[in-house]
Amino acid sequence: MKDGGKSLVCASAFPLSLKARIEDGGGKLKTGVPAKELIGDLSGFIPGLMKKHNVPGLSIAIIRDASILWSQGFGVKGKSSGEPVSASTVFEAASLSKPAFAYAALRMCETGKLGLDTPLTEYRREPLIANEPRLKLITARMVLSHSSGLPHGRAPGTPIGLRFEPGTQFAYSATGFQYLQMVVERLSGQPLAEFMKAGVLEPFGMRESSFGWIDRYRKEAAEGHDRDGNPGLSGNGRYLNYSPEERAQERRNYPEYSYPSSSAGLYTTAADYARFVSEIIEPSAKDRFHLSDEMTAEMLRPQVKVSDAISWGLGWGIERGDAGDAFWHWGDWGVFRNFAIAFKKQKIGVVVLTNSFNGPKAYREIVPRAIGGSHPAFSWVNGYRP
């Protein structure tokens, strides 16, 4: 597994011209800024930024030349414990889970077990929506590109309904991913946690990561915080605290949902997620765990136009900016808010995980400072409503 240095380089005084070059990339990617100076600048900048925006804990990993250049934790895991965030601190990935699941599902397509353009109804004995003939149009490609027409959420106990004709437009949908999860679990004969561990997490060296909570996270996991800095729970956290009766009621309300979910079930570190991203930028091997070059290109090809600057591929958002095309995703489950973006051609990227509702205020400043470029994805995420 490719991996780079992770040691913290202390901030030091820079010549004014270099400091300006670090702070203002002018829309260009920072592929040539010396690592020591870049790391020193971020090490000095991030703590103050976190204090300014009331973000208790944050972890970052920078990718350069398709390897981890630097990974570091800042702040505390939780205000209640006061324990510092380390490189091994686990955060809830929230919707950063979706690209990882998409990768594994596309690998299943390459083996012939799942058809990318085969109606998912062919793999299910019971329909997801009764008396809905348009359900037969929905494919894995539509789910992964958020063009299935399935909803993003719904009131408890209300029926699932399509928002539009499948395949005709974009609308972000966690329900779509949960539907595809049902199919993948049936075809693989494995629950999601085992499927993802065997197909992505272990082969890519994501040793701290898991789909679903595991006991050692009691010591290693960050605690979420609301906008005021008070400890809080994500949907995952609330589910884990439910009684057996409450969990049974949740299954009745949302029969398509299972814990952990493909849409938001990943627990990971910034470094682990950067390993996953690095394997997309430049695979370390050609084996049964990696997508072919052709399928990787299909994954990162715009499938559905969202705006002039944003499209959606298969599992990833695609951004077209001044620095070129990037693949990206954000994660948001209230008290855990994250961002990952990478440029395959330039082999550069960054992952930022936070344990705070205020995380976007921090990562919007960190990303351009870390890798440069201007990022239309920020404006789109800020204005998007499912």
Distance CA 367, CA 365 (A): 6
Does pLDDT of 8 surpass 90? no
Q: Which residue has better confidence, 321 or 357?
A: 357
Quick: pLDDT tens for 296-307: 999 999 999 999
Give yes or no for a contact between 224 and 92, defined as CB atoms under 8 angstroms apart.
yes
Amino acid present at 195: F
pTM of the model: 0.93
Q: Which of the 8 DSSP states describes residue 330?
A: E
Average pLDDT over residues 34-60: 98
Of 198, 197, 200, give the one whose Cα is nearest residue 276. 200
Does pLDDT of 132 surpass 80? yes
Distance CA 257, CA 176 (A): 10
pLDDT band at 322 (very low <50, low <70, confident <90, very high): confident
Q: What is the largest CA-CA distance in the chain?
A: 69
Could you list the beta-strand ranges (E) of 123-206. Answer: none
Angle at 295 between CA 291 and CA 301, to 5 degrees: 130
pLDDT band at 384 (very low <50, low <70, confident <90, very high): confident
Give yes or no for a contact between 309 and 376, defined as CB atoms under 8 angstroms apart.
yes
3-class secondary structure per residue, 102-113: HHHHHHHHHHCC
Does pLDDT of 100 surpass 60? yes
* 326: Cα within 13 Å, side-chain hemisphere: 28
Does pLDDT of 56 surpass 50? yes
The answer to whether the peptide bond before residue 151 is cis (omega within 30 degrees of 0) is no
> What tokens appear for 296 in the block?
């990787």
Distance CA 207, CA 215 (A): 14
* 65: Cα within 13 Å, side-chain hemisphere: 9
